Amino acid sequence: MEFPTRSSPYLPVSNDVSRLMVRVMLALIPGALVLSWFFGWGIIFNLLITTSTALLAEAAVLQLRGKPVRPALLDGSAALTGLLLGLSLPPLAPWWIPVIGALFAIVVAKQLYGGLGYNPFNPAMIGFVVLIISFPLQMTLWSPPTGIGQEGPGFTETLQLVFSGKPPDGETLDSITMATPLDESKTQSGLNLTWDEILSDPRFGHYGGYGWEWVNLAFLLGGLWLWKQRAIQWHIPAGMLGGLFVISLMFYFADADSYGSPLFHLFSGATMIGAFFIATDPVSAATTPRGRLYYGAGIGILVYIIRTWGGYPDGIAFAVLLMNMAAPTIDYYTKPRVFGQREEQDD
């Protein structure tokens, strides 16, 4: 009598790549909406340009490599890279800035290494770092957040500025942009102003930068939902936020006039999107449970060091890429012990 059987696996996959990417994109929605509310239409333009460029670049390279195009586009990884890059860019950056960043992220940082699953570095952060090093002026074009008194350009004015480079009538780029709170705090602390004097500027809110507090809170809520859905694990966000909190608390206690509070660092810049959406990239991050904690803590500490003594106001991208380099070594030294293996056999 014949007993027909099927080969393994027997259970349906419930957490494939496309499902994971869709969950991450859904979790980004609250932060993207709040960011757009405070900083205007330029955020939407950036998202559209980076996402469409990422998809076109992915399709073109796969076509050249003779690989199936449709499955790769439908897995959502290229679109997610475009979204993460678009959310990191200033809203008044000219259109070619998101195009160059997305092309570099997909073509160089992802496909030249073999595609999804083979990239040693986070593609979106590679694209961001290339832009901020190559085009520092265009990467500072942040409009004032809504509600601070100085309103940014509207839909038509932003469209004109992004695609033609022409500021609104009677305005200049300097008059419609302003430094971010992290940039301003770095500049003013370099002039030996106390932290209380720095926080008296209207671009600072109760805990972090004005508007940035809500942006970070929205990304935090999206990240917690992502963790609740088991799309990510808690180790990397907890390690990163814990590392950033502890080191900033130490310096804040030592000299509160010269160093920002832990809450300022947690709710300013790209902290929350970095902790829950960028550092948790399953390809380029550490993979062991203990290693993820070390990996996240390393990012948090590096972010503080770069923000406080480095040459850039926010250090998320550089910290993530530096820890990407350390991830294989962290995994090697934090491998879980095999069940039944004796301690002396570990060496």
pLDDT digits (tens, 9 = 90+) for 178-221: 888 898 888 888 888 888 888 888 888 887 888 899 999 999 99
251/23 Cα distance (integer angstroms): 37
Whether residue 122 is predicted with pLDDT greater than 80 in this model: the reply is: yes
125 in a structural domain: yes
Whether residue 247 is predicted with pLDDT greater than 90 in this model: the reply is: yes
Average pLDDT over residues 89-104: 96
**Residue 257 gets which letter from DSSP?**
T
199/230 Cα distance (integer angstroms): 38
**Domain co-membership, 173 together with 211:** no
pLDDT averaged over the chain?
A: 89
158 in a structural domain: yes
Question: What percentage of the chain has pLDDT greater than the value 90?
Answer: 62
346 in a structural domain: no
Distances in Å between the Cα of 338 and the Cα atoms of 230, 291, 330 are: 25, 16, 17
**Domain co-membership, 211 together with 276:** yes
Average pLDDT over residues 98-123: 93
Query: 331: which 2 tokens?
Result: 């995994």
Whether residue 12 is predicted with pLDDT greater than 60 in this model: the reply is: no
pLDDT recorded at residue 9: 59
**Domain co-membership, 267 together with 211:** yes
pLDDT digits (tens, 9 = 90+) for 257-310: 889 899 999 999 999 999 999 999 989 999 999 999 999 999 999 999 999 999
Whether the bond between 153 and the residue before it is cis, its omega within 30 degrees of 0, is no
pLDDT digits (tens, 9 = 90+) for 176-189: 888 888 988 888 88
**Domain co-membership, 162 together with 51:** yes
pLDDT recorded at residue 347: 47
**Domain co-membership, 58 together with 124:** yes
pLDDT recorded at residue 270: 93
28 in a structural domain: no
pLDDT digits (tens, 9 = 90+) for 135-146: 999 999 998 888
**Domain co-membership, 169 together with 221:** no
pLDDT digits (tens, 9 = 90+) for 30-41: 999 999 999 999
241 in a structural domain: yes
For the ranges 98-102, 112-116, 312-316, the maximum mean pLDDT occurs at 98-102
pLDDT recorded at residue 187: 86
314/317 Cα distance (integer angstroms): 8
**Domain co-membership, 172 together with 47:** yes
**Domain co-membership, 89 together with 155:** yes
Average pLDDT over residues 17-46: 94
pLDDT recorded at residue 326: 96
**Domain co-membership, 224 together with 122:** no
338 in a structural domain: no
Name the residue among 49, 32, 31, 34 with its Cα closest to residue 162: 49
Average pLDDT over residues 155-169: 86
Average pLDDT over residues 23-29: 95
**Domain co-membership, 153 together with 223:** no
In which domain, by residue range, is 259 found?
Answer: 198-332
250 in a structural domain: yes
Are 144 and 151 a contacting pair, CB within 8 Å? yes
Range of weakest confidence among 85-99, 112-126, 167-181, 234-248: 167-181
Number of domains composing the chain = 2
330/328 Cα distance (integer angstroms): 5
**Domain co-membership, 217 together with 298:** yes
301/243 Cα distance (integer angstroms): 5
**Domain co-membership, 120 together with 219:** no
33 in a structural domain: no
Long-range contacts of 242-249 (CB under 8 A, 24+ apart): 242/296, 242/297, 242/300, 243/296, 243/297, 243/298, 243/299, 243/300, 243/301, 243/304, 244/271, 244/300, 244/301, 244/303, 244/304, 245/300, 246/300, 247/300, 247/301, 247/304, 248/304
